A and B are shown apart, each in its own frame.
Chain A
Amino acid sequence: MVTSKNLLGIKELTTEEIYHVLETASGFKDVLQRDIKKVPPLRGKTVVNLFFEPSTRTRISFELAAKRLSADVINFSTITSSVIKGETLKDTALTIKALGADFVVIRHSSAGVPHFLSRILNISVINAGDGANEHPTQALLDLFTILSHKKKIKGLTVAIIGDITHSRVARSNIYALTKLGAHVRLICPPTLRPAEVRHLGIEVFNTIEEGLKKADVIMTLRLQLERQSKGYFPSLEEYFYLYGLTTARLQLARDNAIVMHPGPMNRGVEIESEVADGPQSVILEQVTNGLAVRMAVLYLLAGVKK
């Protein structure tokens, strides 16, 4: 059962709620394999995609998920909005409310913005990524993908490689995987490791060789290239040399390990093309599953009494 009208983060979800979303997503995945992929539950509802950060896959995934559920969709991005005219976030939110939207899907570079919106709006707020805080639907689609290959989460060893400090995907996955009983390992340079992250019940590795040993699942994260100019690492070449996921390193994991990436990828920076396109990669499945998971989230939140 999902009890909140909002999806702000995985932090706020119970294990039961997570499984409920995943089961519901499973049903929608069947729908997506039909000839006619559209179902009616959100007919007459309006979903606003409010994106303050550039995003392609998350935005079109939410857009398509809403359309598959027969909702009307408005895309609102900073480039086309009045935000560049100096409108405050609060005014933008109130404008959307005044238009009579039922859902707002928010992506913002500042952590906590979905929480801010949920306090001033009485419609459902769905976090599509807020700063370095959370990206809950990404973690849910990752769980869904892992489950479809491994049939369980509990007891799996999941290695997450990359810039953990600035990654909302890493945080949401850490919360989701640890709630469901997986062993989570973080592999990152100490400069990109969040303060006191060990308290989250995970293991931390400085070297990729150590961290990948016998892993069941490997998640690589996108490296934001501008971090180099801030001094977090000296060069892309050195980063790839130390932390790039290569075919040779992949051998250290279990034979049937799967390789994931939230996209968009920097080939040759965090992941070698041969690995990204190789037989163990489930990267494109993640995209497909994302659609089913987002349909499930919209569907379940619509059923919560406001």
Chain B
Amino acid sequence: MKILIKNGRIIDPSQDIDGKGDVLIEDGKIKEIVLAQKNKVTSWQAGKLASLQTIDASDCIVIPGLVDMHTHLREPGFEYKETISTGTSAAARGGFTSVCCMPNTNPVNDTIAVTEFIIKKALSEGSCTVYPIGAITKGQKNEELAELEALKRTGCIAFSDDGRPVTNSLIMRCALEYSKIIEVPIISHCEDLYLSEGGVMNEGFVSTILGLKGIPKAAEEIMVARDLALCQLTGGRLHIAHVSTAGSVKLIRDAKACGINVTAETCPHYFSLTDESLISYDTNLKVNPPIRTEKDVEAIKEGLKDGTIDVIATDHAPHHFDDKTKEFDSAAFGISGLETAFSLAFQLVGQELLDLKQLIMKMSATPAEIMKIPKGTLSSGADADITIINLENTYTVDSSKFLSKGKNSPFNGWTLKGTVEKTISMGKIYDWS
């Protein structure tokens, strides 16, 4: 089976390619890229290939399939919110061909059995590749380490207690020590639970006006600072999840300057929204860490620009309608993010904060590199994971049409630029046009 993607603008930061040309796929792998300006007559242009399926990518960019290093697929345990099937469909719809799923399922992914279940299920029902992230502590209970090495051997590519912080600093230290021998990142959800207790939004003027309990920025920054100190102490491999504050950006920037082995991600909602949008009490804006202020948004954009923040991840957190249709205080935290992530991130290109290559890098090659997975590249021999996007097309977000079960998007009704036309995952074509 051969597929030819013709006349697209091929951008592959991993090989420093940006030019018009064709991509040939053979048996689920990338065979060859031929750039048009070389004026080379290729074998397929000569019509020598049989059983060739052709995709016309004129007016589109052809890029490595996006990699989301922070997804909640909810299965096992919360299938009413999302399943591996629906979550990976949403991923593909959003241009992602690989997702790394967080372990806060029920049961928690802290055993070989759960990891195997996810991998098997993803192979049979998934629309893209799924890489499980294991729990740092057994049951995410913050009491003892999970069997990190066994989980890694089974297929976990990183560890995190995401959804909850590792409050016990000794355990976090030990996890970072272990990260050296198993050579995978420890992903930290930074939150001081004493400071954030009962909080439902950013603490500031807007929380004062709304009468909602705030989560101070310090709740995040204290833990970022702690984990950076532990990373320096251990020489382990630390990745900071969902950075939301200016203070965290500064801490990470300084740590990197000191040579600390840390990487960091943020999510589209942290650079697309400010806490003023919560004036409506719309529970779709309730997310943890919370949406912050203009000043934080600016700092996050600056951090993305100067490389302090390596990755744009989604923190895709789908919820059932009922979990959001309630009092703001008791509504669930989270945003269904896979299907809007690229277009929101593409706004940064429009704002001239990132160029297209940097953006694609932060959503494909860099997360793949951090997670040490063979993805995020169009190099010859790689899996045929390719996303074709029309950057000129605009569309209006209609969350009711999401493939995710989670329709909880604060971006519903937004008009965005950049439509995912086709997603090719392991050579399988999903046509959205």
Chain A residues close to B by CB (< 8 Å): 11, 88-90, 108-113, 115-116, 130-134, 168, 171, 194-197, 199-200
Contact = CB atoms under 8 A, between A and B. Distances in A.
Contact of A111 (B203, B205, B210): B210
B326 A196 contact: no
Closest 6 CB pairs of A and B: A133-B211, A112-B281, A132-B211, A110-B327, A111-B211, A194-B208
A89 B322 CA distance: 11
Contact of B325 (A90, A108, A168, A195): A90
Given A112-B281, A195-B203, A196-B205, A133 B326 contact: no
Contact of B330 (A11, A110, A130): A110
Given A110-B327, A110-B328, A112-B328, A134 B211 contact: yes
A200 to B, nearest CB: 8
B205 A195 contact: yes
B212 interface: yes
B208 A196 contact: yes
B214 interface: yes
A116 B211 contact: no
B125 to A, nearest CB: 31
Contacts of B330: 110
Most buried by B among A130, A134, A196: A196
Contacts of A88: 322, 325-326
A11 B211 contact: no
B228 to A, nearest CB: 26
B328 to A, nearest CB: 5
B50 interface: no
Interface of B: 203-205, 207-214, 216, 280-281, 322, 325-330
Given A88-B322, A199-B205, A113 B211 contact: no
A131 B326 contact: no
16 contacts: A88-B322, A88-B325, A89-B326, A109-B329, A110-B329, A112-B211, A112-B328, A116-B326, A131-B211, A131-B212, A131-B329, A133-B211, A194-B208, A195-B204, A195-B216, A200-B209
Contacts, number: 65
A132 B280 CA distance: 16
A112 to B, nearest CB: 3
B205 A112 contact: no
Contacts of A200: 208-209
B204 A113 contact: no
Contacts of A111: 210-212, 281, 328-329
A68 B217 CA distance: 50
A109 B330 CA distance: 11
Given A131-B211, A195-B214, A113 B327 contact: yes
Most buried by A among B205, B211, B216: B211
A90 B214 contact: no
Contacts of B281: 111-112, 115-116
Nearest to A164: B208
A255 B148 CA distance: 72
A110 B203 CA distance: 16
Nearest to B214: A195
Contacts of B216: 195
Nearest to A9: B211
A141 to B, nearest CB: 19
B214 A112 contact: no
Most buried by A among B203, B207, B208: B208
Contacts of B328: 110-113, 116
B103 to A, nearest CB: 29
A162 B28 CA distance: 68
A228 to B, nearest CB: 16
A112 B210 contact: yes
A111 B331 CA distance: 12
Given A131-B212, A133-B210, 13 more contacts: A90-B326, A110-B330, A112-B281, A112-B327, A132-B211, A132-B213, A133-B212, A168-B211, A171-B211, A194-B208, A195-B214, A195-B216, A196-B205
